[in-house]
Every structure is written in structure tokens, then in C-alpha cells.
Chain A
Amino acid sequence: MTSPTDPGARARMPGRRLTEPLEALAQRVARQAVELVVEALDVNALLDQVDVNRLIDRVDVDQLVARVDVDAILDRVDVDRLVDRVDVDALLDRTEIRSVLSRSSSTIASEGIDLVRSQAVGLDDFIARWVSRLRRRSYSGPPALPGSPARHGSPALPGSPSLQAGQ
């Protein structure tokens, strides 16, 4: 917009009157020319001529990566919001982690109890063997309750070596 107080405005008025239509004409001509060129252009043929591998070879990836400011990118990432969007329960449901964890816990507990019992039985056997030795008697393992299948049906107890092997 020209100011009424601008002394050069009046002098520029005839020139502007001439250049504005010419500019508009030039833009129309350029647009038409570009459309004609684009229509005439075979993009596939053009791409066929481009050697992509050679192009990639010329790219210095290290230099490209060096120019990337990873810290700045990470600063822009809202990790809390990202984590909030992750449905951990759904994720765990898709895996067998829960069943594996519960199975592992019960297995560890069971093995722990078996271990404690085995240690105690080993010690029972150790004490009994030493007492038998002091009393000059043979020891063939702990006696079974009368009338129990262990007394009648089970094989003879092999004694301490096998007991200790089971610990």
C-alpha cells in the first residue's frame, strides 16, 4: 500500500500498471509449461535410469548419523506418556510369564523343602550309623512301622550311601 505522503509513489504508478499484468501472464505461461513437461515426462523411465545402489554408495551414513542429535530427539520424547500407553497387563497376558513365574516359585519351594528333608534324613542316618557302630551292631537303615507295606513289601534299605546320594 502506498502512502499518500510518499513522493515516489506517483512516479511508480505507471510502471506497476504495466508489470503486474505481465507477471500474471508469465506465471500462467510457466504453469502451462510445467504441466506440459510433467505430462510428457515418463517418470518410470527416468527412475530406471537412476542407479540407486550407486546413489546409496555415495551417501556417507556415518556422517549423516553424526549430524543427528540423538539427545535432542530423546528430549522431545515423552517417555512417561509412551509408557502410559503401553498395556502391560495385555502384554503379559500374551506371554506365559505369569504361569512360568508361579510354576517356578512352587518348584523352588518344593525343591527347597525336599532339600531340607533330605539333609535331615541324611543326618538321621549318620547319627544312627555311628550309634550302631559304637554299640557294635549292624545298621541297615531306619526300621519301618509294624504292619506297614514298607516293612513287608519294600526292598531292603541299602543304607547310608544311597541315602546320601539322594540329597
Chain B
Amino acid sequence: MTATAAASAAAAQPRLRDHYAGFASRFAGYAVDLGVSTGLFMLALAAISFAASVLTGDSIHWNKSEGWVAVAFVAWQFVYYAYSWAANGKTFGMALLGIRVVRAGGGDAGAGRAVLRTLAFPLSFLLLGLGFAGIVLGRDRRALHDVIAGTAVIYTWDARSARLGFLHRDGPGG
């Protein structure tokens, strides 16, 4: 592709920033977050187990069916999502996919909405997953927990900028 043709193709790219994010981006972000948060939790359990074996000499074996492990996992999930959304509107997975939680009318979600969204998040699962239908069917692509918390998820990256970045790097001076 010549530089001119590439520049024309780049100019034809839509700007995605501030547009509502779709189902695939959000689901991929959630899948990454689930992996990261679960991995970190397992790592923490292993660290505690190691520390306990060093201090007491007895090894600890964790069991998923133990109530307090499940409670600790739920608490950790709450902290992971609520803190991430309150601090900068995105979790690790969302940052990777270039999406962000904002107020429905625009602007930062804030701590209150982040906590409410985290609490309402399981509801979208509990209703046989129907809570997520709004992402596919709704005009604003908002899930049930978004509607409850007054939030929306938008793209924070720009396809056109990314394309121009490629051109800059691949160009004669780049």
C-alpha cells in the first residue's frame, strides 16, 4: 500500500472514542478481568499458605467448598471491580480492550456509581443473563447494571489514531 492510499484509508476510519462499546469488547474485557482477578486471588492464597507453612510448620490446603474462601473471593471481586471503576473507570481488562465506564450523560463514573455498578453486576447474571441483552439490543448498549448505576461503557481509543500511529511507525521517518 502506498503512503497516499494508506493515508486515505486512515482518513476513512471512523473515530471510536466516546462511542458506546459493543458486546464483544465488553465480554473480552470481562474475560481478561476474570482471569486476572482469579489469578491474583490464587496467588494470594498460595502466598498465605507459604507464609503459614514457614511460621507454623503446618501446610494449609485450600478447599473451594469452604465458606470463608468463597466469601473472600466475592469480597476480592468486589474490591477489584469497585476500586478499578471508582479510581479511573476501567479495570485491567477494560484498559486492554480500550473501553471505560462513564456516567450515562458523560463524565467520570465516580465512587458511588462504581460501587452501585459492582453490586448490581451479579444481577445481570442472575436473570439468566438477560441483564446483558441491553448491550446487544439497546440503543445506548447499556446492560441492566449500567441502567441501575446510571453508567455506560464507551470506547476510549481511536481507531483512526491507531491507524495513523501505524503509518507513522511504518513511514520513511518512522
Contact = CB atoms under 8 A, between A and B. Distances in A.
Contact of B17 (A113, A114, A143, A150): A150
A123 B24 contact: yes
A60 B25 CA distance: 74
B9 A165 contact: yes
A7 interface: no
A163 to B, nearest CB: 6
Contacts of A163: 14, 159
A120 B13 contact: no
B140 to A, nearest CB: 7
A151 B16 CA distance: 11
Contact of A117 (B105, B152, B157): B157
Contacts of B15: 150, 154
Contact of A114 (B21, B28, B162): B162
B96 A113 contact: yes
Nearest to A122: B24
Contact of B106 (A135, A147, A154, A162): A147
Contacts, number: 106
A138 interface: no
Interface in A61-79: none
B18 interface: yes
B135 to A, nearest CB: 9
B155 interface: yes
Interface in A82-133: 107, 110-111, 113-114, 116-118, 120-121, 123-128, 131
Interface of B: 9, 12-25, 28, 96-98, 102, 105-106, 136-137, 139-141, 152, 154-155, 157, 159-160, 162-163, 165-166, 169
